[in-house]
Chains A and B, each alone.
Chain A
């Protein structure tokens, strides 16, 4: 066992939390350099602890990427809940899965913190921004390290809170405040599923501990379907909320109202992948629930294609990337759904690199040309922003899936795993390939529109240089986007990466595929990426008037895509409107005004009315007081002296007092 990991795991979430406390409480009074160093040290220290805990040099850099080098460590800090049969501990687990995830969260997180120093330089809420960012890292590391579902739920809700705070960071802007609320409320629907899933776990397993659940399931291998399917589907609902999958993806495009580094960190690289991580973490449940697993695959494939088609026509650079993120998350779900968890996690890692890079580069573009986000008003930025251009190019090639960029390896691993899963798998593979074509097209469209051609607005002419605090992370992430896929150690499939993750998520169960098949499939993937590039080239480089012609030729289709399939409008009409009507008229007018308001009025009115009557007694007239006193005394006397029981008995009313 790795002793270091045992005793110091708690430092990983604690570092960002300390940063949050310092910057959150004192930030406004501290000098800026101190705020910056606290904010940067927190994720860096956490990253260092992760490296130390994982014996980074042994397991990743040296060719020892297999399970024997990395013992699983778990650390129970204190018992948390201990009521009857319910036992929940503050338990962290540090296995291959959480190690990979933590490296991404703290590593990419640190780079984005560095980038933010330049990006948020002149913002009034500088300290507040970094406090929120550190708070996010705190909850994200809790989520990843959690050894039971309840602790994971704490992190899950916490990152939702941080996401809400950061989307609505510029809260004086109405659209930003609304987007924050939308993200929070839509996530609530998913969280409901997660909660129900947890209750069902508790009812059927008596525990929320992941390893205990896995042990109980492996003890009864014949137990499949039934309640396990229900549990897995509930957890899937939670995952679709957090990871912006159909039907709960609607919050993610709006979340682009937040600062761009936030979009990169939370809404591209880390938080939105929590759903994928959760499915991988609870994969034993899904393995025992084939129906739920198929649902995961179908939702993933459908979301990938659906979001990619919307991304084709978006004109806001960040929204293109947002839909692209939803689409890529769909790939990860597809990977999970064909039980290729390691491929999904692999894609999660490479996606974190190139999508964070895409967002940061987009942020650099926006920053350089003064806040303009409309692709139609950019153009010709290649010469003016060379570093941004070349790093963005690396990311575009990576996401499009060109060899030897990172995206090629991971996307190929998922598609290969899908292809070898029978007829249904081949259909999923086909959807994935079509999505890859669309992905390549819309990414090169963005690339051509933003960087090549002639500047199409005043803003694109005038620009100011980006500081190196912003460009440095771009370069590092570009290197990772190029080389990040090589850790698989194999040209196709997940290779070493899959072997490394196998103890945590299980082997990829595939039909016997041949090396030849792998070569053919990766050939098709690259060919499709090339076709996408060719189309983008001919549309946006050679004949820039062609997209408009096509849109005019297919007005219905174009409108449908530009209107994002009118899903927001549909939800608005079917869910939001009825809710508002019920809230206004039933709950607001009837329950609140009539029932609650009436009750409050009644309880307030009785004493007021009685007081108004009784105060007439307080005449101030001494003799009237005396008369009341005498009358009272007479009444008491009457009550005591008169034998009431016999009086009542004499007029025919029996009471128990007679004869006593």
Chain B
């Protein structure tokens, strides 16, 4: 078969996608004010990194990268659980989710 499906996608594409995902995450983290959106941006960064892990694991035919991805996913799940709980608690206490107004640690 010589269809485009059997063609290998070049490594650089995956990495580029990964970088784009990560940058979007960073950008979202920096400019979004809603705490939930910020949270989602973090997830985006994590998954961008995950993608590059998987890419390299495939490229070098090793399983370490895959294992790392599983770890990241587990930690991200746990973090999501705790993070969402905190967000709910914050919302109950402050009646807002705008990060600029949750600045209790300011001097």
Contact = CB atoms under 8 A, between A and B. Distances in A.
B102 interface: yes
A319 B99 CA distance: 88
Contact of A623 (B100, B104, B106): B100
Nearest to A622: B99
Interface in B10-44: 26, 29-31, 33, 38
B102 A622 contact: yes
B107 A623 contact: no
Contacts of B30: 623, 626-627, 630
B29 A620 contact: no
A82 interface: no
Most buried by B among A615, A620, A622: A622
A626 B29 contact: yes
A619 B102 contact: no
Contacts of A615: 107
A174 B45 CA distance: 80
B25 to A, nearest CB: 10
19 contacts: A615-B107, A618-B107, A619-B103, A619-B106, A620-B104, A620-B106, A621-B103, A621-B106, A622-B38, A622-B100, A623-B29, A623-B31, A623-B99, A623-B100, A626-B29, A626-B30, A627-B30, A630-B26, A630-B30
The secondary-structure label for the interface of chain A is: helix
Interface in A609-638: 615, 618-623, 626-627, 630
Given A620-B106, A622-B38, 13 more contacts: A618-B107, A620-B104, A620-B105, A620-B107, A621-B106, A622-B100, A622-B103, A623-B31, A623-B33, A623-B99, A623-B100, A626-B29, A630-B30
A621 B106 CA distance: 7
A619 B33 CA distance: 16
Interface of B: 26, 29-31, 33, 38, 99-100, 102-107
Contacts of A620: 103-107
Interface of A: 615, 618-623, 626-627, 630
A626 B104 CA distance: 16
A621 B29 contact: no
Contacts of B99: 622-623
Most buried by B among A618, A623, A630: A623
Contacts of A618: 106-107
Contacts of B29: 623, 626
Contacts of B38: 622
Contacts of A619: 103, 106
Contacts of B33: 623
A630 B27 CA distance: 10
Contacts of A621: 100, 103, 106
Nearest to A627: B30
Contacts of B104: 620
Contacts of B103: 619-622
A612 to B, nearest CB: 12
Contacts of B100: 621-623
A622 B31 CA distance: 11
A621 B107 CA distance: 10
A624 to B, nearest CB: 9
A626 B105 CA distance: 15
A634 to B, nearest CB: 9
A626 B107 CA distance: 17
Nearest to B99: A622
Nearest to B103: A620
Nearest to B107: A618
Nearest to B33: A623
Contacts of B102: 622
A618 B107 CA distance: 7
Contacts of B105: 620
B83 to A, nearest CB: 13
A620 B99 CA distance: 10
Contacts of A627: 30
A621 B100 CA distance: 6
Most buried by B among A618, A619, A620, A627: A620
Q: Which A-B residue pairs are the 9 nearest by beta carbons?
A: A620-B106, A620-B103, A622-B99, A620-B105, A618-B107, A626-B29, A630-B26, A626-B30, A627-B30
